[in-house]
Amino acid sequence: MKRVSTLLVTILFLCISTISFAQRKHKKKGSKDFTPTEAQKMNFIDRYKQVLGDSLNIPTSKRDTVAAIELSYLLKKMKISNDKSISKDDKEVQTGMLDGDMYMHLGAILNAEELQRLQAFELRQKKEQDERIKAQKDAQAAQSNNNMGYRQNGYYGGGYNGY
């Protein structure tokens, strides 16, 4: 059951990132602000409500509100992460403050046990995402190291050690 829920959340986040990437390609060159469509927002809320029920056992009466809060804070975090004028450290501080605010709002809706399950779930998802990103970077680095041998030995770019 946990694997199924983890798979669902992973698919959800992949869909969102794919949609956001597709939206960015179709935007005008001058516009850098990403705003999801209403259909994308509703899709996120529906999938998140399903995850809340399937893997976290959040009561049906609370799922709509929790999903709406999560979406609103996710959009705020996206806006911060896309802002080029803010340094990386400031972005981390601002997103940390948003997380604190979000959990405060969620704490008013969920009981302590439900909130702990939600926080643990989100922490696991973030850790898995970080591991996937690290694995991708390691694979890219290994591939680039393999390709460097051709240049150093003169096989790529002509003779005389690539000159």
State the pLDDT at residue 144. 76
State the pLDDT at residue 28. 46
> Per residue in 13-70, pLDDT tens?
665 666 666 665 555 444 456 788 899 999 999 999 999 998 889 999 999 999 999 9
Q: What pTM does this model have?
A: 0.64
> Per residue in 62-101, pLDDT tens?
999 999 999 999 999 999 988 889 899 999 999 999 999 9
Which of 21, 77, 23, 66 shows the shortest CA–CA distance to 44? 66
State the pLDDT at residue 31. 47
Residues shown for the chain:
163
pLDDT, averaged across the chain: 80
Instruction: Return the DSSP state at 58.
Output: -
